[in-house]
Amino acid sequence: MLTDWSKTRKPEKEEINSRYKEAVAKLEKQQITIKEKKLPVLVLFEGYDAAGKGSVLGRIIRNIDPRFFKVFTTAKPSEEEQRKPFLYRHFIKIPQAGKFTFLDGGWMTDVTNDYMAGKIDDEAYKLRIDSVKRFERQLTDNGYLVMKFFFHIKEKEQKKRIDALLSDKNTAWRVSDSDLWQNKHYKKCTDIFDRYLCDTNQSSAPWYLIDAEDKKWAELQVLEYLVQGIDTALKNSSLSVPLLQNVFPLKKTPKLKDISLDKALTDKEYKEQLKKYQEKLRRLHNKLYLKKIPVIIAYEGWDAAGKGGNIKRITEALDPRGYEVHPIASPEPNEKARHYLWRFWNRLPKTGHVAVFDRTWYGRVMVERLEGFCSENDWQRAYNEINEFEKELSDWNAVIIKFWVQIDKDTQLERFTERQNTPEKQWKITDEDWRNREKWDLYEAAVNEMLKKTSTSFAPWHILESNDKKYARIKALKIVIEEIEKKLDEIKD
Amino acid sequence: MLTDWSKTRKPEKEEINSRYKEAVAKLEKQQITIKEKKLPVLVLFEGYDAAGKGSVLGRIIRNIDPRFFKVFTTAKPSEEEQRKPFLYRHFIKIPQAGKFTFLDGGWMTDVTNDYMAGKIDDEAYKLRIDSVKRFERQLTDNGYLVMKFFFHIKEKEQKKRIDALLSDKNTAWRVSDSDLWQNKHYKKCTDIFDRYLCDTNQSSAPWYLIDAEDKKWAELQVLEYLVQGIDTALKNSSLSVPLLQNVFPLKKTPKLKDISLDKALTDKEYKEQLKKYQEKLRRLHNKLYLKKIPVIIAYEGWDAAGKGGNIKRITEALDPRGYEVHPIASPEPNEKARHYLWRFWNRLPKTGHVAVFDRTWYGRVMVERLEGFCSENDWQRAYNEINEFEKELSDWNAVIIKFWVQIDKDTQLERFTERQNTPEKQWKITDEDWRNREKWDLYEAAVNEMLKKTSTSFAPWHILESNDKKYARIKALKIVIEEIEKKLDEIKD
C-alpha cells in the first residue's frame, strides 16, 4: 500500500506558502468553533523514524491556543503502563469535548514494534488489530474526530537524516538504536507498516499518508487534511450510527422477577463461613499478587440493596496495599466531556491488584438511559461497547466479576423507612432515592435488558440475593474465590 | 467467525409471536417515514443454500406496500451481465430514495462462488473485496441504508432440508447441483464464507448473522434488525462523511490558462488526416469487437467548444451496431433519486462495444457543484468516488478516454454570436448558455481542480485544443486510436 499509494505532487514553493497561510487561517478560526460545538479531536502522528513527525507536530500546534490542546509523546511503555491493558495508556489520553490531543506515536507504534520484535505472534497481532479497530470505532461512534497521519520517507532519505544527526556531536544522541535498526531493516519495516495501515484503514477513521521528504510540504499536507477533517466533522451535529450485532458468546440470565429471594443464613452459619472464606480470600490475594493477575469486581444493584456492606466483607480480607474501592457517582465535568468509559479506563488496577467498583460503567444503560442523559442511539450502542471494554480486560487476563445485588420492592421500602427513622443512617437516604423508587418498573426492565445483553462468557453477571444480607455476602465471597481460583488454574496450564 | 459468532438464543414461541407483532407494526409505520424522508434502503440476503432466505424474504415483504419495494433474485450472471463489469448487475438494482430493494443473493454470492469454483485466484479475490468495500461505502456515504443478512444453518440441518426436498417428486427439482455440492463441501464453504464476512464487515454496513434453523425465528431476527437499522438511519438527516485521501496514481495536468490554443490545421491537412485516421479506427473497431474490449469515451468541455462535431468524426468511423452515443442532460427524477453514478453504470457498454458520453459523471464536480445541486461534502467526496468508478472500469479492462474540449472565452463569444445570428443554429444557443458564460471563472477553477484530482494513470484526461475544430478532431481520433492500440498490445501479452 505504501508503495502504490500515490502521494500528491509537491507544489512550487510559492504555492506552498500561499496554501499554508490559507490553511493556518482556517485552523485558527476552527479552534473557536471546535470549542463552541464541543468537538473532541484526536490527532495521531505515526511514521518512519527520522521522518520529522515531532517537528511538524511542534509547528502545527503553534497555530492553536495552548488552552485548547495537549501533546503526548509516546515512549516505550513504562513499568506502570506495562501492568495495564495494552490500550490503557492511549485511552486515557483522549481529549475532552472541544479540545485537541496530539500524539507523537501511539498504538500503531506499540503494535508494529511488538510484532517486529517478535513479542507478539500472528495470532496476537490479529487480536491487537481487532482491539485497535474497536477502539477507534468507539471513538468515532461517540463523536470523536480521529485523524491519523503516517509520515513516509524513503530508505535513502532516512539514512541521510540519520547520518546528518550522527555527524554532529550535539545531535548524535538523538539517534536511537531503533532508528538504526529500522534503516537497516527498511524493507521489513515497510511490509509491516503496510499491513498495519491496510488492516486499520476504516472509512470513519482513515489513514492519511504524508510525503515527508520535505518538512514544509509535510506540514502543509497535515494542515490541509486536518482542516478538511475538522470541517467535515463540524457539519455533523448528532450522529446516529448503526447498531452492531453482538458477536460475543452470551450466558443465559434469569429475569429479576424470577429470582427467589428467600435464601438466608443463620447468624451462626454466617459467622463461621465469613471467617472461613475471608481467610481463604486473604491467601488467594497473595497468590494473585505474585502471579500479577488483575481483578475487577463490579457492583450494581438497587438502592439499599446492601452493596456497601457486601463490599466491606470482601475488602476486609484483602491487603490494603493491593486493592482500591472506587465509589462511582455522577461524572465530573471533565469526565462527562469524554467517552463515558474513560473514567473507568482511568481507574483500572495494575496487574496483581484488585479494583472494586461501587456502581460502574453500567450507569450508561440504567440511569443515563432512563434520565435521558444520553441519546437513545448512545445507550443502545453501549451494550456492545461495554462488552468490547470487558473483552479488553479479559484479553489482558483479568478476573472480571460482576454482581447484581437484588432485593424486592418491599425490602427496599423497609430499609428506606429504617434509614429515615434512624438519625445516624439518615445521610444514606435522599429524595433522589425516593424518586428512583417510583421508577422501579422502568429500572427493572432496563436491568433485565442489561443482564441479557452483557452477560458474556468472559464477564458474566452474578446475582446476589440480598433480602438476607448475610446470605449475599457469603455468596459474593464464594464467587470471588471461585473465579480467582479458576484463573489461577488457567495460568498454571 | 461464523463459528465463534454467538447467535441469540431462540426465545419461547409466545415471546416470538409478541415480538413479531411489534416488529411488523413498527415496519409498517416506518415505510411511510422512509418515503417522507426519502431514505433508500438496500437489503441483502445471503447465506447457505436451503437456509430459507427466499421464503423469509417473501414473508417480510408482505408487510410493505408493493409500491415501495422491488425484489430481485440473483441467479448466475446472464450472457449479457457477463459482458459488463462485475458490480454492474448489482449497482443498477439500487433503490430510489424512499424505497426498498430486497436482494435474494448478491455480490457476495458472485465472489464466493467464483472463488470456490477457482475462477478467481487469491489476488483477484482481494481486488473483488476492495471493489465490494468501495461499492458499499459509496452507498452508505451517499445516504443509503445497507442491511446485510447472512443466513446460517448447520451441515446436518442443510442435509435434512435437501433430503426432504429430494424425497418428494414435486419439490425434487428445487435441489440444484450447487446445493448438493455445498452440503458435501460444507466445511470448505464455511471457511470461505467466514473469510468473506470478516473481509467486508464494515461498521457503516455491518453483517447481521441470522440463526436460520427455525423459519419463524429467522424471520423475527431479520425483522428486528431491519427495524432497528431503519430507525437509526432515519435519525440522521444529512451526513458529512470523512474525505478520503486519494490512493490512485495521478498524472500531471496543465492548468487551462497554460494551454496554448493556437494549434491549427489547414483544410488540406485536415481532409487527408481525417480520411487516414478514420480508416484506421474502422479497422480497430473490428478488432475490439473480436477481442471483446469495451471502450468508453467521455467528452466534457465549454459550451460551443465543438464537442458534437468532434464526436461525429469518431462515430463516423465506427460500425453502428457496435457503438452508442449518450447525450447527458440533467437527470430524470428517477435518476436524481439514486446515487449520481447510477445513470452512468446503467449506460455502460457491453464488452466489444463503444460508448461515447456527450457530457458525463463529471457534472457532479462542475454544474452540480457550482449550482448547489449537491452539498459541499457531496462534490468533495465525488473526486474519489469517480476515480473509484473508473477504477472498476479499468479493472474490467476497458479503454477509458476522457476529453476536455478547450476553447478561450473570445472564441466562445464568437461562436455564441454566430449561433444567435444564424437562424438554423439558433436552437443551439439558450439563455442558460449565456448565464453559464458569466460564471466562466468559477467554472475554470472547478475544471482545474477536476483535471488535477481525476487524471489517474488508468483514466487520464486528454486536452483537445479546439479553437481550431479541425485540429481538435484529428487529435481526438489520434488519441482514440493510440489508446485502443495500447490496450490491444496489452491483451496480446
pLDDT per residue over B354-397, tens digit each? 999 999 999 999 999 999 999 999 999 999 999 999 999 999 99
Closest CB from A232, A244, A377 relative to B243: A232
The DSSP H or E segment spanning B444 is: helix B440-454
CB contact under 8 A, B242 and A206: yes
| Strand segments (E) across B320-365 | 323-327, 354-358
Give the closest residue to A393 by CA, choosing from A449, A454, A472: A454
DSSP letters, B362-412, are GGGGTHHHHTTSS-HHHHHHHHHHHHHHHHHHHHTT-EEEEEEEE--HHHH
Tell me whether A32 touches chain B (CB under 8 Å): no
Taking contacts as CB-CB distances below 8 angstroms, the residues of chain B near A247 are 1, 4-6
pLDDT at position A236, please?
A: 87
Taking contacts as CB-CB distances below 8 angstroms, the residues of chain B near A205 are 242
pLDDT at position B276, please?
A: 98
Instruction: Report yes or no: B91 and B345 within 8 Å, Cβ to Cβ.
Output: yes
CA B298 to CA B277: how far, in whole Å?
A: 19
Q: Searching chain A, which residue's CA lies closest to the CA of residue B1?
A: A247
CB contact under 8 A, B247 and A137: no
Q: Searching chain A, which residue's CA lies closest to the CA of residue B6?
A: A249
CA A131 to CA A145: how far, in whole Å?
A: 18
Identity of the residue numbered B249: P
Q: Which tens digit of pLDDT belongs to each residue from B250-300?
A: 999 999 999 999 999 999 999 999 999 999 999 999 999 999 999 999 999
Tell me whether A113 touches chain B (CB under 8 Å): no
Q: Would you place residue B76 in the very low, low, confident or very high pLDDT band (cuts 50, 70, 90)?
A: confident
DSSP letters, B115-175, are HHTTSS-HHHHHHHHHHHHHHHHHHHHTT-EEEEEEEE--HHHHHHHHHHHHTSHHHHTT-
CA B27 to chain centre: 29
Which candidate in A2, A5, A6 is best for mutational testing of the B interface (most B CBs within 10 A)? A6
Closest CB from A206, A235, A244 relative to B206: A244
Tell me whether A233 touches chain B (CB under 8 Å): yes
CB contact under 8 A, A242 and B235: no
Q: Nearest C-alpha of chain A: how many angstroms from B321?
A: 39
* For residue B7, pLDDT beyond 70: no
Tell me whether A367 touches chain B (CB under 8 Å): no
Tell me whether B488 touches chain A (CB under 8 Å): no
Tell me whether A123 touches chain B (CB under 8 Å): no
Taking contacts as CB-CB distances below 8 angstroms, the residues of chain B near A244 are 203, 206
Closest CB from B203, B228, B248 relative to A204: B203
* For residue B491, pLDDT beyond 90: no
Identity of the residue numbered A295: V
Which of residues 174 through 203 in chain B touch A, CB cutoff 8 A?
202-203
Question: What SS3 state is found at B11?
Answer: coil
CB contact under 8 A, A249 and B4: yes
Tell me whether A137 touches chain B (CB under 8 Å): yes
CB contact under 8 A, B203 and A232: no
CB contact under 8 A, A8 and B235: no
* For residue B89, pLDDT beyond 80: yes
Closest CB from A6, A137, A377 relative to B235: A377
Match 438511559 to its residue by C-alpha cell.
A369
Task: Please name every residue paired with A405 in a beta bridge, in sequence order, or none if there are none.
Answer: A301, A464
Q: Which tens digit of pLDDT belongs to each residue from A156-204?
A: 999 999 999 999 988 898 899 989 999 999 999 999 999 999 999 998 9
Q: Nearest C-alpha of chain B: how many angstroms from A113?
A: 25
Q: Nearest C-alpha of chain A: how many angstroms from B225?
A: 8
Q: Which tens digit of pLDDT belongs to each residue from B169-179?
A: 888 988 999 89
pLDDT at position B1, please?
A: 61
Q: Which residue has the higher pLDDT, A4 or B428?
A: B428
Tell me whether A171 touches chain B (CB under 8 Å): no
Taking contacts as CB-CB distances below 8 angstroms, the residues of chain B near A197 are none
Query: What sections of A408-492 are H helices per DSSP?
Result: 409-421, 431-438, 440-454, 469-492
Q: Nearest C-alpha of chain B: how many angstroms from A12?
A: 14
Tell me whether B377 touches chain A (CB under 8 Å): yes
CA B305 to chain centre: 29
Closest CB from A202, A232, A245 relative to B208: A245
Tell me whether B3 touches chain A (CB under 8 Å): no
Closest CB from A229, A243, A249 relative to B232: A243
Instruction: Report yes or no: A253 and A53 within 8 Å, Cβ to Cβ.
Output: no
Taking contacts as CB-CB distances below 8 angstroms, the residues of chain A near B252 are 9
CA B357 to CA B328: how far, in whole Å?
A: 7
Match 472509512 to its residue by C-alpha cell.
A203
Retrieve residue B36's grid coordinates.
417522507
CB contact under 8 A, A208 and B245: yes
DSSP state of A460: -
CB contact under 8 A, A246 and B141: no
Tell me whether B33 touches chain A (CB under 8 Å): no
DSSP state of A331: P
Which residues of chain A fall short of a pLDDT of 50? none
Identity of the residue numbered B435: R
Helix orientation angle between A122-141 and A107-116, rounded to the nearest 10 degrees: 180
Tell me whether A243 touches chain B (CB under 8 Å): yes
Q: Nearest C-alpha of chain A: how many angstroms from B49?
A: 22
Length of chain B: 493
pLDDT at position B424, please?
A: 86
Tell me whether B58 touches chain A (CB under 8 Å): no
CB contact under 8 A, B141 and A236: no
Query: What sections of B306-352 are H helices per DSSP?
Result: 307-315, 333-336, 342-345
Residues B207-229: b if buried by 16+ CB within 10 A, e if exposed: bbbbbbbbeebbbbbbbbbbbbb
Retrieve residue A441's grid coordinates.
418498573
Which candidate in A204, A222, A245 is best for mutational testing of the B interface (most B CBs within 10 A)? A245
pLDDT at position A493, please?
A: 63
Retrieve residue A300's grid coordinates.
450494581
DSSP state of A363: G
Query: Within 10 Å of residue B98's Cβ, how many Cβ atoms?
Result: 18
Tell me whether B448 touches chain A (CB under 8 Å): no
Which of residues 390 through 429 in chain B touch A, CB cutoff 8 A?
none
**In the A/B pair of chains, how many CB contacts fall below 8 A?**
93
CB contact under 8 A, A141 and B203: yes
Retrieve residue A189's grid coordinates.
519495516
Q: Would you place residue B428 in the very low, low, confident or very high pLDDT band (cuts 50, 70, 90)?
A: confident
What strands lie across the sheet with B399-406, from one edge to the other?
B323-327, B354-358, B295-301, B399-406, B461-465
Q: Which residue has the higher pLDDT, B146 or B203?
A: B146
CA A365 to CA A53: how far, in whole Å?
A: 40
Q: Searching chain A, which residue's CA lies closest to the CA of residue B145?
A: A242
Q: Nearest C-alpha of chain A: how many angstroms from B229?
A: 6
Closest CB from B6, B240, B244 relative to A206: B244
Q: Searching chain A, which residue's CA lies closest to the CA of residue B253?
A: A9
